[in-house]
Amino acid sequence: MNVVLFGPPGAGKGTQAKELSKHYDIPHISTGDILRANVAEGTDLGKKAAEYMNKGELVPDEVLIGIIKNRIAEPDCKSGYLLDGYPRTVPQADALSDILKDINMPLEVVLNIAVPDEELVIRLAGRYSCKCGESYHIKFNPPKEAGICDVCGKELYQRDDDKEEVIRQRLVSYKRNTQPLIDYYEKAGLLVNIEGAGEIDEVFGQIINVLDQYK
Ligand code: ADP
Ligand code: ADP
Ligand code: ZN
């Protein structure tokens, strides 16, 4: 199945994608994780991207389009893909559709996970992340042992961009650049709305009800 998980920062895309990736055995492709890995390794791409990420702004389209083109071409995507955090602009969505046409793996569904702004701020401000890509919440989804990842045992950290002022800027950028894609995918007949404000398990249940149709 070929899926985009769409929604504002903090909607729960990463949390759901991790579980969905195990459940359906398809790769979880998070452009945020790919960018952060580059920042951590100090690559040229990472150095360039960090300037934007730390301000809560989008990294330029040509950078992201290059990343996604390479990643989608890897063999594990032959069984399908779960995109998380891409596309975030109309040019990125147009480029994706061209890339997918070339490899004959068109998008089947875009899940739009909706959560009110006030809740997003609370989620992001309490988020603890792991280098392995897992994320936790101090109240809503705490790790078994405080500060330690359940999955890999590494120490958890708070992302530089999960500070209140950067969170606000990310929400502004979402509304300006990314929200128009809801209309874009609605018109393409691919959009399915998911109520993202419930418990993690409830949201997961809604999503698999939809995705089971694409197995
Ligand atoms: P995104 O990838 O969309 O930015 P995450 O999956 O990282 O979002 O989730 C943001 C934060 O909210 C994390 O701290 C996560 O543990 C928490 N979270 C995710 N889903 C829910 C939910 N349904 N209810 C409460 N908290 C959630
Ligand atoms: P979240 O979903 O929690 O907002 P991500 O981990 O998806 O965060 O993204 C973190 C940052 O990485 C974004 O604020 C942005 O700077 C950059 N980024 C990730 N994906 C994209 C993208 N598709 N286009 C532009 N910038 C991106
Ligand atoms: Zn971990």
- Give the chain's domain count: 1
> Given the CA of residue 7, which atom of ligand 1 is nearest to it?
3
Q: Is the CB of 52 under 6 A from ligand 2?
A: yes
Q: Is the dihedral of CA 39, 45, 50, 55 positive or negative?
A: negative
User: Is residue 10 within 8 Å of residue 56, measured between CB atoms?
Assistant: no
Average pLDDT over residues 135-160: 97
Mutate to test the pocket of ligand 2, among 35, 38, 45, 62 (most ligand atoms within 8 A of CB): 35
Check if the beta carbon of residue 138 is closer than 8 Å to that of residue 162.
Answer: no
In whole angstroms, how far apart are CA 195 and each of 45, 90, 198, 205? 35, 24, 7, 11
Q: Which atom of ligand 2 is nearest to the CA of 33?
A: 6
Task: Tell me if 83 CB under 6 Å of ligand 2.
Answer: no
Could you give the percent of the chain with pLDDT greater than 70? 100
Q: Which domain holds residue 55?
A: 2-214
CATH of the domain at 104: 3.40.50.300
Residue 215: per-residue pLDDT: 87
State pTM to two decimals.
0.97
- What is the separation of C-alpha 163 from the centre of its chain, rounded to a whole number of angstroms? 18
End-to-end CA distance of the chain: 6
Q: 95 CB under 6 A from ligand 2?
A: no
